[in-house]
Structure 1
Amino acid sequence: MSKDQSTRNILDRIVGTSVSFNGLLIPASALTSTLSRYVDNLVVWNDHQTYKVSLVGSAVLVRFSAHYFLLCTNHQLRGCRMEDVSLLGRDGQQLVTSSGVRHFNDESNPHYRDLAAFEFTEPCQEHPDLKERFFDFREVPPAALNTDIICAVVAGFPSKDQKYELEEKNHIGRLKRIILCELEQASYNPALLCLRTNSPLDFDPDGMSGGSAFVVQVVGREVRAYFAGVVVTGGRDRFHIIKAGDIKRFLSGLVQARSAP
């Protein structure tokens, strides 16, 4: 079965159905574009006259408890200065840096330590137009039978797909990949969610780390979509995801620490 046919088969299951997503009803025709809009390039500022920025993979933007965070993985940041992690403006000209970085500290699972959050709350107050790029993270997916899970939507920016033309054109061409997946029961680490692609990818997924994952599932008589987590590793036929529940626990700790006297 071709990739296009697999996509059509999944969407056929919900055609004519609106998907509930954070209190809104999303038509099936707009589902993948809606669920993939909260991923962005992970951009690092360079102190260089020509090569002003580096693209080091993908990142997820979330709003949690009135705070704005950029989520990514630590392994994407090797060799980078944390204070130089930035958001690139829609016009491709403006760079906005974060107001601090926090790391997940859980010695029981090394994959949790690969999660990093950069806070953009203060920059979002100064640049209100940034806020619309952040997903309002309210709840995690409820437990469900495999038969109730329709699909997952993974999105990110593979490195080889990005046009990095700073020397001659002072231009960055950004290309987002959106991949439909199914839940895979087997995983090398039970703490991570494993998603299997509907067919092997025909592109190099390097750079998808830090990308977003959303799940579409049946809850009662409704079809609902939820934030499922952040891509931590990936290949041509599957992705492993840091689960939304662990991310929520991580962010809750950050917010509580910020509000502590």
Structure 2
Amino acid sequence: MDEYHLSKAGSVFKLKYKGRYFCFASAHQVESANYDYDQLCLLNYDTNNLLTSNRVVFAERLVDGSSNYDCLLFDFTESVSGGRLAKLGWYEPDQFFNDSQTRKPLLACAIGYPSFRNEIDYVKNCYGASPNIVWGEETKTAMSDRLAFTPTPQIEFDPIGMSGGPVFGITQESDRLFLFFAGILTNATRSKFNFFPLRRIRHLLDHRQ
């Protein structure tokens, strides 16, 4: 069995969809860190065991003919069904999940772990457990097949490492506000957060083999 050093890098999003349990990560963060696909793992907080996925879905150029699917899908269904990972903590599709287009949000927010604070302290035997949350307003993107928002106020830290984390939007129906899942963060700077839209994520999930 190969031996790996334990490290924390990048962000992921855990989703339960049609009875299966998936973890999203951006392809570029896996490739840039030179990880093997069997190195991504989730922690069982009750047992302190680390579990890897039982398969990875490679979507580039396969789902809709495009080559910019900066998104990987890790399937943890076997670990959850077998009781090795908890069934709690997986996001379940909201009432807007099947919309044909991502709704225009009143506000957007991204959740993830920037690299500057996403480290394991082996001296104190701990790590930063809380992610950063960045709020902003919708803006245009220069990237194809992406949506974007501008952080408000502008952030002072480098958001590198937040890729793979979820992006949510707030919408209003009548006199009520709703939070909805909008996509996966893929490219972020201090002035603009670009993300992979929900409609393409749903396409990936529905066309997995």
* Structure 1 residue aligned with 2:93: 137
Runs of at least 4 residues off by over 4 Å? 140-146
- 1:229/1:241 contact within 8 Å kept: yes
5+ residue gaps, structure 1, are 1-45
- 2:102/2:197 contact within 8 Å kept: no
Rg larger in 1 or in 2? 1
Q: CA deviation at 1:216?
A: 0.7
* Structure 1 residue aligned with 2:204: 250
- 1:212/1:230 contact within 8 Å kept: yes
**CA distance in 1 between partners of 2:57 and 2:135 (Å):** 30
Residues 237 and 158 of structure 1: is their aligned pair in 2 closer, same or farther, counting only changes over 3 Å? Answer: same
* Structure 2 residue aligned with 1:105: 60
**CA distance in 1 between partners of 2:110 and 2:99 (Å):** 15
* Structure 2 residue aligned with 1:85: 40
**CA distance in 2 between partners of 1:212 and 1:140 (Å):** 17
**CA distance in 2 between partners of 1:171 and 1:214 (Å):** 29
Are 1:151 and 2:107 matched, yes or no? yes
Are 1:115 and 2:71 matched, yes or no? yes
* Structure 2 residue aligned with 1:164: 120
5+ residue gaps, structure 2, are none
**CA distance in 1 between partners of 2:102 and 2:195 (Å):** 17
Q: CA deviation at 1:175?
A: 3.5
TM-score after normalising by structure 1: 0.70
Are 1:189 and 2:146 matched, yes or no? no
* Structure 2 residue aligned with 1:53: 6
Q: CA deviation at 1:106?
A: 2.9
Report matched runs for 1:12-31 at 5 Å.
none
**CA distance in 1 between partners of 2:100 and 2:136 (Å):** 18
User: Number of residue pairs matched?
Assistant: 202
Residues 175 and 224 of structure 1: is their aligned pair in 2 closer, same or farther, counting only changes over 3 Å? Answer: closer
- Tell me the C-alpha RMSD between the 2 structures: 2.3
**CA distance in 1 between partners of 2:173 and 2:147 (Å):** 19
Secondary structure in 2 matching 1:214: strand
Q: CA deviation at 1:221?
A: 4.3
Q: CA deviation at 1:93?
A: 2.8
Task: Output one character per residue of 1:119-168: Cα deviation in whole Å (capped at 9) or x when no partner.
Answer: 0101011237522111012514565885xx321121000111124212x3
**CA distance in 2 between partners of 1:144 and 1:207 (Å):** 24
- Residue type of the partner of 1:158? P
- Residue type of the partner of 2:109? V
TM-score after normalising by structure 2: 0.87
Structure (1/2) with the larger helix percentage: 1
- Residue type of the partner of 1:181? G
Structure (1/2) with the larger strand percentage: 1
* Structure 2 residue aligned with 1:72: 25
**CA distance in 1 between partners of 2:103 and 2:80 (Å):** 39
- 1:140/1:227 contact within 8 Å kept: no
**CA distance in 1 between partners of 2:9 and 2:132 (Å):** 15
